[in-house]
Amino acid sequence: MTGASAGAPVRPPAALSRTGARVERQPLARFTTLGVGGEAEVWFVGTHEQLAEAMEQPYRVLGGGSNLVIADEGVPERVIRLSGPFAERDLELDPALSAGDGVVTGWVGGGVPLPGLLRALQKLGLSNLEGTVGIPAQVGGAVWMNAGTRYGEMFDGLHTIEIVTPAGVRQVTPDDLNWGYRNSGIPRNHVVTQVRLKLRRSTPEAVLERMEHADVARKGQPKMKTPGCAFKNPRTPEFPDGVSAGRLIDQAGLKGTRVGNAMISPDHANFIVNLGGATAADVHALLHLIRERVGVAMELEYELWPEQALSAPERA
Ligand code: FAD
Ligand code: EPU
């Protein structure tokens, strides 16, 4: 007798890799804000040595999982998750790099959750990143996407970025990168392991006020399982200053449209929400439908794992 009840899922226990990384087969749904995604081998890495070992085979990098639509079959590659020291932060100001109002912190790990970091910076009265309030990312994922809002973005507060690839470790500054709206210029699978933040001395009260101001823009966003906005706001000759993709999808009359258990949010049309039990295919079908019905070219903001063309809606 093993003691396992009939039909209970049998999961192999976590193993340690050669360099001590924890390796576990896990359903990826539990790491995503959409709550969708099948299994993969997850490598929890906390040192450069462990990361180098994880990169010996094809891999993907998982941050806070807040921009991902992962297939129900999972992915065949290793999935790297920063943990241990890569999920820690040192907010001591570096005297050698700080001058006057401009201050630079110690290293902040790429696996640090952004919301907690912002709360800590607010208490210290350190400003520059408060425009990113409400983004449920990890620091590495937020840097990789240059996540932001109209009140500010990650690149407002970066001094140095450490990037690891199978070829080695290097440190860059924002000036070295071709960054812009929702784009850091850092190639895919180049891992942001840690950053130094470039901040401005302010007061806890003033930082809190700016955070609350930026947060007001989230009032209309759904509080359900979602990966945030599906499409980037397009800039076209018709809309040279950009236009809300949400407004365009809304104007196409698509709010509340369902495929299976996924829905275009009735609150904000650029959010796809999981009503419970949605599949990746449901979400793909809605994305396809939006592309088809909105007559403006829009770049997908969600990332599909694995990468694929959007399937035609079958049940819309
Ligand atoms: P993931 O979703 O895990 O991954 C996204 C991409 O980043 C993948 O390519 C992944 O490989 C890569 N990546 C992750 N970690 C690293 C790393 N350490 N190094 C290199 N690459 C990495 N976004 C905005 O910009 N503005 C918003 O206002 C906003 N609001 C949101 C609100 C909600 C409720 C939700 C669910 C999402 C929202 N988003 C917003 C989207 C999302 O939070 C951002 O795209 C964020 O940058 C994703 O970061 P992540 O750590 O979750 O990355
Ligand atoms: N609007 C509609 N219908 C909708 C949604 C929006 O008419 O269904 C209108 C609003 O009434 C408003 C305008 O469109 O007049 C702009 O809407 P909103 O303020 O919600 O901003 P957005 O451009 O739709 C952007 C970001 C969000 C970010 C908010 C707040 C993109 C793709 N979206 O949304 O980022 O949180 O501003 O700053 O840039 C994300 O990237 O995942 C994300 C959530």
Residue range 219-272, pLDDT digits in tens: 999 999 999 999 999 998 888 889 999 999 999 999 999 999 999 999 999 999
315 within domain boundaries = no
| Calpha distance 50→96 (Å, rounded) | 30
42 within domain boundaries = yes
Residue range 104-160, pLDDT digits in tens: 999 999 999 999 999 999 999 999 999 999 999 999 999 999 999 999 999 999 999
CATH of the domain at 281: 3.90.78.10
4 within domain boundaries = no
5 within domain boundaries = no
Burial (CB count <10 Å: 0-12, 13-18, 19+), residue 305: buried
With a 6 Å cutoff on the Cβ, whether 246 touches ligand 2 is: yes
82, pLDDT greater than 50: yes
248 and 291 in one domain? Answer: yes
17 within domain boundaries = no
Residue whose CA lies nearest to ligand 1 atom number 28: 149
Q: What is the reported pLDDT for 1?
A: 35
268 and 305 in one domain? Answer: yes
CATH of the domain at 54: 3.30.43.10
The residue among 69, 85, 101 that closes a domain is 85
pLDDT band at 4 (very low <50, low <70, confident <90, very high): very low
16 within domain boundaries = no
Q: Which ligand 2 atom is nearest residue 233's CA?
A: 32
96 and 195 in one domain? Answer: yes
The residue range of the domain holding 247 is 222-310
15 within domain boundaries = no
31 within domain boundaries = yes
252 and 191 in one domain? Answer: no
Q: Tell how far the Cα of 247 is from the centroid of ligand 2, in angstroms.
A: 8
In sequence order, the 6+-apart residues with CB closer than 8 A to the CB of 223 are none
Q: Give the HSE-up count for residue 136: Cα atoms under 13 Å, Cβ half-sphere.
A: 17
- Annotated catalytic residue, options 182, 200, 201, 291: 182
What is the reported pTM?
0.95
229 as an active site residue: the answer is: yes
Given the structure tokens 């860059």, which residue do they identify? 172
235 as an active site residue: the answer is: no
Cross-strand pairs, 163: 170, 192
83, pLDDT greater than 80: yes
Ligand nearest to the CA of 195: 1
Backbone angles phi, psi at 20, to 5 degrees: 100, 10
The residue among 41, 63, 85 that closes a domain is 85
Domain count, the chain: 3
The better pLDDT of the pair 207, 8 is held by 207
